[in-house]
């Protein structure tokens, strides 16, 4: 506060002093008005849209739930997660790799829903525990089309 009074005591031009004080007061008044008009801190129409959305329905948050539930296979088979797949690998090739160790109910490569390209992982369903263990032991870290497979039993949540 003393610095403000020093501005008036010095021999500076009174017009400059008045301009600085007016500017500072204008900024303070603008900040106060903005806080009164938009307490959420958003600018323009975004503040009004946020108010309208909060009036429509309360936000539902799934705290601690970042994964979708994935049920166990209905036919009682064991699901195997196969990761680090080559993007050129087909479901038939994946099925043949696992059929060397026993019966395969299904083999599925997960793809991008928009462009249909592989996401680099998939799932294989096998009915027999001994065959699953043999396949996991043999195919983990096996190189297929230039990539080492990562195989383990899928963790079914739910």
Instruction: Write the CATH number for 140.
Output: 3.30.70.330
Answer whether residue 66 is part of any domain: no
Domain count, the chain: 2
* Residues 84, 116 within the same domain: yes
Answer whether residue 143 is part of any domain: yes
CB 102 within 8 A of CB 133: no
* Residues whose CB falls within 8 Å of the CB of residue 140, separated by 6 or more in sequence, listed in order: 149, 150, 151, 152
Spatial distance between the Cα atoms of 111 and 9, rounded to a whole number of angstroms:
75
Residue numbers of the domain that contains 45: 2-56
Answer whether residue 120 is part of any domain: yes
Q: What is the CA radius of gyration of the chain?
A: 33
Answer whether residue 71 is part of any domain: no
Answer whether residue 11 is part of any domain: yes
Average pLDDT, whole number, for the chain? Answer: 79
User: Hey, which residues does 126 pair with through a beta bridge?
Assistant: 78
Spatial distance between the Cα atoms of 119 and 144, rounded to a whole number of angstroms:
16
The model's pLDDT over 31-45, given as tens digits with 9 standing for 90+, comes to: 676 666 666 666 655
In which band, very low, low, confident or very high, does the pLDDT at 66 lie, cut at 50, 70 and 90?
very low
Q: Is the pLDDT of residue 30 over 50?
A: yes
Answer whether residue 67 is part of any domain: no
* Residues 149, 90 within the same domain: yes
């Amino acid at each position: 506060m003393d610095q403000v009074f020093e501005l008036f005591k010095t021999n500076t031009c009174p017009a400059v002093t008045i301009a600085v004080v007016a500017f500072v007061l204008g900024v303070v008044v603008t900040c106060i008005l903005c806080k009164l008009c938009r307490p959420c801190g958003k600018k323009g129409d975004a503040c009004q849209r946020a108010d309208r959305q909060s009036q429509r329905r309360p936000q539902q948050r799934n705290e601690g739930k970042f994964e979708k539930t994935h049920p166990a296979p209905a036919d009682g088979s064991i699901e195997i997660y196969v990761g680090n797949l080559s993007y050129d690998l087909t479901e038939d090739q994946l099925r043949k790799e696992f059929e060397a160790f026993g019966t395969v109910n299904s083999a599925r490569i997960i793809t991008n829903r928009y462009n249909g390209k592989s996401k680099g992982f998939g799932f294989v369903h096998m009915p027999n525990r001994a065959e699953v263990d043999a396949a996991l032991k043999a195919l983990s870290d096996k190189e297929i089309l230039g990539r080492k497979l990562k195989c383990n039993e899928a963790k079914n949540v739910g």
